């Protein structure tokens, strides 16, 4: 399959808006932010309850230069912690996701640095939602990409079923719509005609498709 084209224009650096075949581990799932007003405070805590990092998405109203700013300007505004490297993040599109490794009645334990595995805490609030991988893939992933040569589209979720012939004019946006076991039903467009088929989305704990959160 052709590499998907990201249709948005990314003007800032430090953004993580896709994951290429992530590995599922012992995490509970993906903790996703769903802003209600755009002014909610994102507060990340140390184990002792002190604040590790804090920011919000109302930065445009707080920056002095509102027309021509960079991510470095935003980092200075919020005294950014450079260890912050979550699962998915885009400051302008209110995208924020963490791998969640634990929870109790008051808070989630999350990975704040995917490179080092550093874990911190987020207090439970109504704008956070925890999804397992299957629910996350269907409800939170905007589009996927996959290797059609090694993972051909099938007419049904069965290795023995025939392949679906795909032409060169397939649209790069491919939507995940249903999961049965290791199989993922996808919706795609070819010559502006909507079609559907089944591919494998994982082998054991290895996800074998690329996940895109912004298109």
Sorted by where each begins, the domain ranges of the chain are 18-131, 141-212
Report d(CA 20, CA 23) in Å as an integer: 9
Q: Collapsing DSSP states into helix, strand and coil, what is residue 204?
A: coil
Per-residue pLDDT of the chain (215 residues; tens, 9 = 90+): 444 434 333 344 467 889 999 999 999 999 999 988 878 899 999 999 999 999 999 999 999 888 889 999 999 999 999 999 999 999 889 999 999 999 999 999 999 999 999 999 999 999 999 999 999 999 999 999 999 999 999 999 998 888 888 877 788 999 999 999 999 999 999 988 999 999 999 999 999 999 999 98
- Determine if the pTM surpasses 0.75: yes
Give start and end residues of each alpha helix (H) in 33-175. Answer: 71-78, 133-140
Element (H, E) at 90: strand 88-90
CA-based nearest residue to 71, from 16, 6, 152, 140: 16
CA-based nearest residue to 2, from 148, 177, 141: 148
Tell me the two tokens of residue 59.
Answer: 């930065």
């Amino acid at each position: 399959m052709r590499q998907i084209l990201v249709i948005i224009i990314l003007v800032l650096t430090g953004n993580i808006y896709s994951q290429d075949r992530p590995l599922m581990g012992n995490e509970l799932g993906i903790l996703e932010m769903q802003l209600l007003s755009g002014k909610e405070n994102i507060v990340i805590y140390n184990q002792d309850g002190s604040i590790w990092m804090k920011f919000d998405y109302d930065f445009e109203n707080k920056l002095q230069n509102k027309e021509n700013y960079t991510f470095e300007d935003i980092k200075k505004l919020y005294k950014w912690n450079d260890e912050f490297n979550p699962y998915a993040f885009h400051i302008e599109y209110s995208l924020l996701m963490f791998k969640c490794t634990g929870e109790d009645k008051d808070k989630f334990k999350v990975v704040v640095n995917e490179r080092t595995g550093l874990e911190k805490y987020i207090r439970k609030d109504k704008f956070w939602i925890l999804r397992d991988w299957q629910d996350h893939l269907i409800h939170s992933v905007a589009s996927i990409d996959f290797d059609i040569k090694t993972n051909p589209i099938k007419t049904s979720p069965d290795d023995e079923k025939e392949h679906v012939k795909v032409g060169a004019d397939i649209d790069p946006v491919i939507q995940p719509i249903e999961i049965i076991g290791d199989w993922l039903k996808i919706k795609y467009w070819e010559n502006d005609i909507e079609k559907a088929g089944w591919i494998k989305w994982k082998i054991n704990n290895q996800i074998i498709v690329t996940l895109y959160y912004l298109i």
